């Protein structure tokens, strides 16, 4: 019984305090210009704090949309860059068919593994969007992987951070070509092998796609040359620091070679003849 009286007393005291505070504020508001200015400033400060917090919350929830807009802008800029590269080749060689036969499709990553030896990602576009098995996957900073399976609305991609993934790469745009593979250690580490020992290069040189694979266009920047060693006295094994960190990728571009079927048919025909 005593406990109930104590609770009631606390509630009554609190109510009295609130009433007195309201009365005091009311008296201040009617008691001169100084008090009115003080109340106005306090009110404005409270409103500003509430507005600022609201704006920060709104900005936080709009970041996803802003990132998507930036990714789409990068995609369109990449398309424009390819057009200018096509024009440059056309002016120099008069033939751009080996570049223009690629189609580019923007996509988002919905699942991504980075802590295994056989890493993969799932994209939010599939066969109904025009994506086909064997299509390359890139960003503005390099190659990401290869599409290995598709459903109607999704694609399964074997990423470059996979022991089974190999990319044909070149030191510079006119240097030696060799297979580029993941180093199996970091998401930005790679090894370029089978580079002839008489090949001139320096640390910091850019490594590009060679164009010898039907999966990727030529001259996509991949990374920079690091330290090296000679293997069996015949060729270099070169460390490469990739431009793209696969652990941080969210948006990609799927590259479709429109002449892939013809190339595969030719390869199969030649193999059967052997």
Average pLDDT over residues 16-35: 57
Per-residue pLDDT, 33: 52
Residues 6+ apart with CB under 8 A from 197: 230, 233, 234, 235, 236
Per-residue pLDDT, 247: 84
Average pLDDT over residues 148-172: 94
Per the model's pLDDT, the better-predicted residue between 168 and 257 turns out to be 168
Per-residue pLDDT, 179: 96
Q: Which residues pair with 192 in a beta bridge?
A: 180, 238
pLDDT winner (highest mean) among 8-12, 38-42, 47-51, 109-113: 109-113
Span 172-229, pLDDT tens digits: 988 999 999 999 998 899 999 999 988 899 999 999 999 888 888 888 999 999 999 9
Confidence of residue 92 (pLDDT cuts 50, 70, 90): very low
Confidence of residue 267 (pLDDT cuts 50, 70, 90): confident
Q: How many H helices and E strands in the chain?
A: 4, 12
Confidence of residue 15 (pLDDT cuts 50, 70, 90): low
Domains and CATH numbers, the chain: 103-258 (2.40.10.340)
How far is residue 236's CA from residue 242's CA, in Å, rounded to a whole number?
A: 18
How far is residue 216's CA from residue 265's CA, in Å, rounded to a whole number?
A: 18
Q: Which long-range contacts (CB under 8 A, 24 or more apart) does 95-102 make?
A: 98/211, 98/218, 99/217, 99/218, 101/257, 101/258, 101/259, 102/217, 102/255, 102/256, 102/257, 102/258
Residue 93 has pLDDT above 50, yes or no: no
Per the model's pLDDT, the better-predicted residue between 261 and 19 turns out to be 261
Confidence of residue 103 (pLDDT cuts 50, 70, 90): confident
Per-residue pLDDT, 257: 85
Provide the whole-model pTM: 0.63
Span 234-256, pLDDT tens digits: 899 999 999 998 888 888 989 88
Q: How distant, in Å, are the alpha carbons of 15, 68, 73, 108, 184 from that of 61?
A: 39, 13, 20, 18, 36
């Amino acid at each position: 019984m005593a406990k109930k009286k104590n609770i009631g007393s606390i509630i009554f005291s609190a109510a009295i305090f609130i009433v007195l505070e309201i009365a005091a504020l009311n008296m201040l508001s009617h008691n001169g210009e100084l008090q009115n200015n003080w109340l106005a400033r306090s009110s404005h400060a409270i409103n500003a704090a509430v507005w600022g917090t609201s704006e920060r919350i709104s900005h936080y929830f709009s970041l996803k949309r802003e990132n998507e807009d930036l990714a789409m802008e990068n995609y369109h800029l990449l398309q424009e860059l390819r057009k200018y590269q096509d024009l440059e080749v056309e002016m120099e060689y008069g033939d751009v068919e080996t570049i223009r036969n690629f189609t580019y499709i923007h996509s988002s990553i919905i699942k991504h593994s980075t802590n295994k030896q056989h890493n993969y990602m799932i994209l939010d576009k599939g066969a109904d969007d025009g994506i086909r098995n064997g299509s390359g996957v890139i960003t503005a900073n390099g190659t990401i992987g290869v599409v290995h399976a598709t459903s109607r609305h999704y694609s399964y991609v074997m990423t470059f951070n996979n022991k089974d993934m190999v990319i044909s790469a070149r030191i510079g745009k006119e240097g030696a070509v060799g297979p580029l593979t993941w180093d199996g250690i970091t998401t930005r580490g790679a090894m370029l092998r089978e580079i002839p020992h008489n090949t001139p290069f320096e640390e910091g040189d850019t490594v590009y796609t060679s164009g010898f694979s039907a999966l990727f266009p030529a001259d996509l920047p991949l990374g920079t040359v690091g330290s090296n060693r000679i293997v069996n006295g015949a060729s270099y094994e070169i460390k490469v620091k990739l431009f793209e960190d696969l652990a941080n990728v969210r948006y990609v571009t799927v590259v479709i070679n429109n002449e892939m079927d013809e190339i595969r048919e030719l390869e199969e025909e030649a193999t059967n003849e052997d």
